Amino acid sequence: MHTYGCSEDVLTTVLEETLTPAERSLAALGEHRRLQDTRMFFRYATVPDFCEPVERLTGRTVRAFISGIDTEVEGLAIETFVLHPEGSDAPSRMEKFAG
């Protein structure tokens, strides 16, 4: 796992080998679209689990959370966080969480 500051307001984390055993089985069956859809469903169902640590560590609120995975390349995933400008009192992406 590596996290990069892409700009003043953007952080991207690259995760490798993220597939669970069940997900690896789906990939082996060629069910990549189903795997991607399932993974995205769970990612966005748990937005606070991803945004809370970023907000705690940066002291800034997350404006947007963007998640992606390439299931054909050993589960390479990217989690990107767009932060509100420093000092902003805009709402956190977690507050827009409807789960």
Give the integer Cα–Cα distance in Å for 19 and 77. Answer: 9
Q: How confident is the model at residue 95 (pLDDT cuts 50, 70, 90)?
A: confident
* Per-residue pLDDT at 98: 54
* Per-residue pLDDT at 73: 86
Q: Classify residue 6 by its DSSP letter.
A: E
- Supply φ then ψ for residue 93, to 5 degrees: -60, -30
Domain coordinates of the chain in residue numbers? 2-86
Give the integer Cα–Cα distance in Å for 46 and 40. Answer: 10
Global pTM reads 0.87
* Per-residue pLDDT at 4: 94
- What would the mean pLDDT of 78-91 be, rounded to a whole number? 94
Q: What integer best gives the mean pLDDT of the chain?
A: 92
In tens, the pLDDT along 29-68 reads: 999 999 999 999 988 889 999 999 999 999 999 999 999 9
* Per-residue pLDDT at 63: 97
- What would the mean pLDDT of 13-41 be, rounded to a whole number? 93
* Per-residue pLDDT at 19: 93
Contact 62, 85 (CB under 8 A): no
Strands 76-83 and 62-70: antiparallel
Give the integer Cα–Cα distance in Å for 83 and 91. Answer: 11
Q: Report which of 54, 52, 27, 51 is spatially closest to residue 39, judged by C-alpha positions.
A: 27
Give the integer Cα–Cα distance in Å for 15 and 95. Answer: 25
